[in-house]
A and B are shown apart, each in its own frame.
Chain A
Amino acid sequence: MIWLSLVASLSMVVIDWSSLRTAKRREVALYIGLIGLSLGMAVGYEMNLFSKVHLLAPIDALFRPPTKWLYHIL
């Protein structure tokens, strides 16, 4: 997954190169940030990091009890 995401990231930068050169600094920062997050995810996936860390845990903790309550009262 790391190799695939690296190849995809490089291809994206090559395709978007002309528009990135004229883009605002804020847009470039967002672009790089999103790519960085994706690469981080790919590395974490390959290292089996996310079998221990569940990124959706806060959302599950917040919304699972009301959903279970809804099933219960029906």
Chain B
Amino acid sequence: MSDIRISRTQLITALTWCVVGTGIVAIPTAIAQFTVRDAWISTMLFSVGGVMVALVTAVFTRFFPKRSLTHALIDAFGPWVGRAFAIWFLAGLYITNCTVVREAEVFVGTTILPKTPEYVLGAFALVAVVYAVYMGIEVVMRDAEFITPLVMLIAPILFVLSMQHMDIHEVLPVLADGWTPVLRGGVVSILVYALEMIIVLQFSPFVHRSQSVASDIFVATIVITVVLTTVTILTVGVVGSSTQYLSYPVLEAIRTIRVGRFLERMDTLYVIAVITTIFIKMAVCHYAWCTGMKDVFRLSSHRVTVFPGALLVWGGANVLFADADDVQQFIFYTGPAYAVCTLLLMPMLAVFAHKVRRNS
């Protein structure tokens, strides 16, 4: 286990795809509930959450070098209270993974396989996730690395082609309704999607240089902010005020692409890219959950919980969220406070308890 090492590039790419995977689908919709014209400013606020995560990670890795968050919680609070906190964190990770799987099921069901039962789509997605996680973190990270050039080839083509229908007046005037809708729109991207990057603390024992994890998060934050802001500007520019009524506004923007009379239906490429990046997110979340379970239940390997854990995620995704609206309501109106208490407070509590114990 100690021989497993992941590079900084692998960590940055995995983090980027983890957030962009579902973020590119859900963030424009979430922000459009509050503001359409200034949605791009709300998206840029993602960087605030990213910087918060980088700061927390910097403090955490200083006090717990080469320790995962669950391991650190047990070290800091002792076996019983520490395990209780770790289980709370793992429950958060589990619910996050359930939302991701449910979002993937609904997205694939709506866009390409409308006649297939959604739980079957989830089952097939998890087969691939289980295989990657079973093989280990290096395989998951290499997958993230492998898809990077493919997405970097497809995404610019789609961006440039969708610009032909863009109307810059859709994003003007800037801040016409003041800062209130912009800040409200930014809540989900700052407190839900940015805080998800704290998952990296489960991987810090495997990172080649654990001191550089905070700066890796900072780099990933810049990349994600640029990508999401570009996508939001393009979407609002193409789709306009209808963005707030659409479940998948980015998909609609891509669907407008038509070059001559022979090049259209480019949305297939977008769907492929989204499914691939969501796969990375599901694998990263599941691996983090399995390593957490290993720490909490003192298992011999993370592999013990890979198969039954994936089955539990599959069941939970369909049982916890009846439909896409259920997932959205949870992410918009429960997710922010839940993410702060689960993802942001847990590492800070571990550091605080460690400091108190050391001083006493």
Contacts and interface: CB of A to CB of B under 8 A. Distances in A.
Interface in A6-22: 8-9, 12, 15-16, 19
Nearest to A68: B333
B304 interface: yes
Range of interface residues on B (Cβ < 8 Å):
35 or more
Interface in B335-358: 335-338, 341
Contacts of B183: 74
B309 interface: yes
Interface residues of A, number: 38
Contacts of A44: 319
Contacts of B180: 74
Interface string A25-55: 0110011001101100110110000110001
B333 A27 contact: no
A27 B299 contact: yes
Contacts of A9: 311
Given A23-B304, A27-B300, A38 B184 contact: no
A8 B310 CA distance: 10
B255 to A, nearest CB: 31
A34 B309 contact: yes
B297 A56 contact: no
Given A1-B318, A45-B315, A35 B304 contact: no
Contacts of B316: 41
Contact of A56 (B308, B318, B330): B330
Contacts of B297: 26-27, 30
Contacts of B307: 12, 15-16
B105 to A, nearest CB: 12
B304 A31 contact: yes
B320 A27 contact: no
Contacts of A41: 312, 315-316, 318-319
Interface of A: 1, 4-5, 8-9, 12, 15-16, 19, 23-24, 26-27, 30-31, 34-35, 37-38, 41-42, 44-45, 50-51, 55-56, 59-60, 62-64, 66-68, 70-71, 74
Interface of B: 95, 119-120, 123, 180, 183-184, 187, 293, 297-300, 303-305, 307-309, 311-312, 314-316, 318-320, 322, 330, 333-338, 341
25 contacts: A9-B311, A12-B308, A15-B307, A19-B303, A26-B297, A26-B298, A30-B293, A30-B299, A30-B308, A31-B305, A34-B308, A34-B311, A34-B312, A41-B312, A41-B316, A44-B319, A45-B119, A45-B315, A45-B319, A50-B322, A55-B319, A63-B338, A64-B333, A67-B335, A71-B187
